[in-house]
Amino acid sequence: MKKGFTLIEMLIVIAVIAILVGIALPRLRGMREEGNYAKANGELKTLQAALESYFIHYKAYPVQITTPDAEWQDDDAGSLTKAVPKLISTPLKDPFTPGGATEYRYATSASVNSDYYVIFSVGFDGIPDITGIGADGLLNGTDDDDIFVTNGDGLFVLP
């Protein structure tokens, strides 16, 4: 009598392994998104603390360069990485952008001497839904999945 596994036994083992993998993969993907959310939330609070420190030293918030998605943390002498005292050493990148290659977005309520700012991540869908912040501290755009910090009200302009 030969010892070993029959074809049926091997198929059953493979089926059980496939079922377990099918259960585990979606959970792992959800864990990665939760990790990105926690990372973005923590880094946004770090950037907010850096902005408030910048304001204390320079009596103004950094200027929004051109658009909310422009590189703003390390762009010119008025940025967070070039400020004295040093506020952050390297620009922080949004984990929800492709490859995590884009800085968090930043918008101000005015081109200079702004009273309000918003710093935000594009969120799970990778599309920026916030378009700016008004002089009244209300956010412009759509209240979707963007993760943000602001010194404004945190409320969106009603359509």
pLDDT digits (tens, 9 = 90+) for 105-129: 999 988 888 899 999 999 999 999 9
The rounded distance, in Å, linking the Cα atoms of 108 and 89 is 22
To the question of domain 8-150 being in CATH 3.30.700.10, the answer is yes
- Residue 53's alpha-carbon distances to 7, 46, 95, 110, in angstroms, are 69, 11, 24, 19
Q: Which pTM value belongs to this model?
A: 0.80
Q: Specify the pLDDT at position 80.
A: 86
Q: Where are the domains of the chain?
A: 8-150
pLDDT digits (tens, 9 = 90+) for 48-106: 999 999 999 999 888 877 665 567 787 766 688 888 888 898 899 999 998 888 899 99
